[in-house]
Structure 1
Amino acid sequence: MPKSVDDFSTYVQTDNNAISHSSASITPTEGLLDLWLHGKSPHTQRYYRREALKFLGVVNKPIDSITLADIQGYSTALHQSSLAVSSVARAIAAIKSLFTFAHQKTGLLKANPAGAVTLPKVKDSLAERILPEWVVQTMIGLEQNKRNRALLKLLYVAGLRVSEVTQLQWFSLQPRDVGGQVLVYGKGGKTRAIKLPASLWQELQSLRGDAAIGEPVFTSRKKKGHLKEMQVNRIVKAAAKRVPGLEEAVADAVSPHWLRHAHASHAMDRGAPVHLVKETLGHANIATTGRYLHARPTDSSSLYLES
């Protein structure tokens, strides 16, 4: 293990588990970030790298010289900025993750200066991001584009993350006795199989044409590769803006993840057991799935009181 940041690049280049680079030497910081982010989803990699580089650029010190005071000062500056509390919390969480990795996994740091930094408490706004069932059905029903309609339905019916749906290839779709199933490579390197109703299965199959088994299910018309996450966001937002009566501010905020929230909430409203929703969504623990029960309870003591 490296003893200082100065010899970290040598460690990275000789470690068989490190991400491979070209023959050009990499900086110690790049080496550490690559090791830290290795195996994480593309979305997490982009976000964590951006937040880490912003922090390191502000403190302008080698990572093994950064102190608790430096991190607390940066945290204070974020709180005093115009960022939402949730954005501040995510940024600090990324920094804490980096220092925990550098301390516990590489031995680069003798102590973790971020260990004592606390995350700000974030308001649980999950209930505000669960669309009514009629809104989701209207989004799907008003979509005229065949590919986009199937995309919306799959995001909702299977509860997929946007990173999962954009990576689907035709071998991910497998027939079953009735309908089919989709194999999803999700967070943490876990693969899960999700059964699909016959109607959605047929709709997806109608998109294939003569596409080879290794080609993307949802393709970008311009570049012919996988549909990008940004493009999926635009499709979902455009669908929300077509819904009559949906407030403009809500439509502007809708994202693909809102359809995943809707899947969980609507499925449990219809009697799906929590453990089954957990497995479908690929949650790491039941507590995460249970949040949907608290966000939209089916009963309350208030209903027992006279108005």
Structure 2
Amino acid sequence: MSRDLVIIQENNFFSDKTQLSTNLQSEESIQIWAWLNQGHFSDRTKKTYIRIVKDFLTFNWHLSLKQITPALVTLYLRKKDKVAASTRNLHRNCLSSLFQYLENVSYIQKSPVKVVKQEKVTETFHYKVLSIEQIKRMTEKVGSSRDRLVLQILYFTGLRVSELSTIKVKDFSVSSQKRNTQGAYLTVVGKGSKIRTVLTGAYLWKEIRKYIKKADLQPNDYIFNFEGAPLSRITIFKIIKKATQVAGIKVPGGKTPSPHWFRHTSAIHALENGADIHVVQTTLGHASLATTGQYLKSRPVKSNASYLKKV
């Protein structure tokens, strides 16, 4: 048995109750496997998409991919009424990607998801933004230099948690100028394996260099590692949760800040301190300026009230 057939058998996307023939299941599993392994999906995205596709095929257990219509896609999404609109959009985007691929390779004539629109979602960044005082308290109260640096890098660079966990010592490079006021250049591999460069700033680079020296890290070592492997997302979440608790941070609704709150906070604070929106876009790795613009809408610095007299 070939390696590819073994892979397909291990990734059978169809439920046991499906009425599709074994041959058709294999054929369509191969198409789904090929879509997932184009090379631009992260492992985390693959796991999420596999779960969504299996759920969708179980919902349409009596139909093949070629028989899926826009109405069936809409019905599937409508049945997800107990989840947030953003989660339904995630399901819709996953199916859109799959069926667009199937159209591109001429497996189907037209994607049934094209006419199914995304739901409008009001992004509530405002309550996911920490104050500078809260950030300072968290970095002061954490118990280790590693945890402090985790918080500092998240705040100054706005990295995603997946980007943070995979940073290696060799990903930093320093300007050849004698007087370096910008710190180091950090090469980041972001969503879809897109590469961008982020300036650390002089202060953060100083903190990073001290940590590298103290931990005796080598060029190929992950900055944050456990027995040589990258620090897990769960561990980074726990670091932030503990820092929140020891610093006595209280947020609306009793929510626990996540690593992504630091990304929002980094963007909002930079914009409020006068950063050009294009700088923030490049730092965060947003493909669209409209995505970065959501931060401006979420925390406007002025409104009509700023220009009206007292009454």
By the TM > 0.5 criterion, same fold? yes
Aligned to 2:267: 264
Alpha-carbon distance between aligned partners in 2 of 1:219 and 1:304, rounded to the nearest angstrom: 52
- Decide whether the 8 Å contact of 1:164 with 1:185 is kept in 2: yes
- Decide whether the 8 Å contact of 2:171 with 2:187 is kept in 1: yes
Cα separation, partners in 2 of 1:125 and 1:215, compared to 1, 3 Å: same
- Decide whether the 8 Å contact of 1:150 with 1:203 is kept in 2: yes
- The CA deviation at 1:285 is 2.1
Cα separation, partners in 2 of 1:108 and 1:194, compared to 1, 3 Å: same
Aligned to 1:83: 83
- Decide whether the 8 Å contact of 1:33 with 1:49 is kept in 2: no
User: Which runs of no fewer than 5 residues in structure 2 stay unpaired?
Assistant: 9-25
Within 5 Å, give how 1:1-307 maps onto structure 2: 24=6, 26=8, 27-37=26-36, 38-60=39-61, 61-79=63-81, 82-103=82-103, 105-176=104-175, 177-178=180-181, 179-208=183-212, 209-220=215-226, 223-247=227-251, 249-252=253-256, 254-305=257-308, 306-307=310-311
Alpha-carbon distance between aligned partners in 2 of 1:268 and 1:52, rounded to the nearest angstrom: 39
Q: Which amino acid aligns with 1:99?
A: F
- Decide whether the 8 Å contact of 2:92 with 2:113 is kept in 1: no
In angstroms, what is the RMSD of aligned CA positions? 2.2
Aligned to 1:16: none
Which TM-score applies when normalising by structure 1? Answer: 0.84
- Decide whether the 8 Å contact of 1:185 with 1:191 is kept in 2: yes
User: Which runs of no fewer than 5 residues in structure 1 stay unpaired?
Assistant: 1-12, 14-20
Per-residue CA distance 1:121-141 (angstroms, 9 max, x = gap): 222212222222222222222
Which TM-score applies when normalising by structure 2? Answer: 0.83
Q: Which amino acid aligns with 2:154?
A: L
Identity of aligned residues (%): 29
- Decide whether the 8 Å contact of 1:241 with 1:251 is kept in 2: no
- The CA deviation at 1:151 is 0.9
Q: Which amino acid aligns with 1:240?
A: T
Alpha-carbon distance between aligned partners in 1 of 2:102 and 2:242, rounded to the nearest angstrom: 42
- The CA deviation at 1:85 is 2.0
Alpha-carbon distance between aligned partners in 1 of 2:138 and 2:35, rounded to the nearest angstrom: 39
Task: Name which of structure 1's ranges 294-303 and 242-251 shifts more when overlaid on structure 2.
Answer: 242-251
- Decide whether the 8 Å contact of 1:43 with 1:163 is kept in 2: no
- The CA deviation at 1:22 is 5.3
Q: Which amino acid aligns with 2:42?
A: S
Cα separation, partners in 2 of 1:25 and 1:166, compared to 1, 3 Å: closer
- The CA deviation at 1:41 is 2.5
Q: Which amino acid aligns with 1:172?
A: D
- The CA deviation at 1:76 is 1.7
Cα separation, partners in 2 of 1:283 and 1:22, compared to 1, 3 Å: same
- The CA deviation at 1:181 is 2.3
Cα separation, partners in 2 of 1:241 and 1:55, compared to 1, 3 Å: farther
- The CA deviation at 1:182 is 1.2
- The CA deviation at 1:266 is 0.2
Per-residue CA distance 1:153-182 (angstroms, 9 max, x = gap): 101101111111111111101233343221
Task: Name which of structure 1's ranges 193-202 and 242-251 shifts more when overlaid on structure 2.
Answer: 242-251
Local SS of the residue matching 2:80: helix
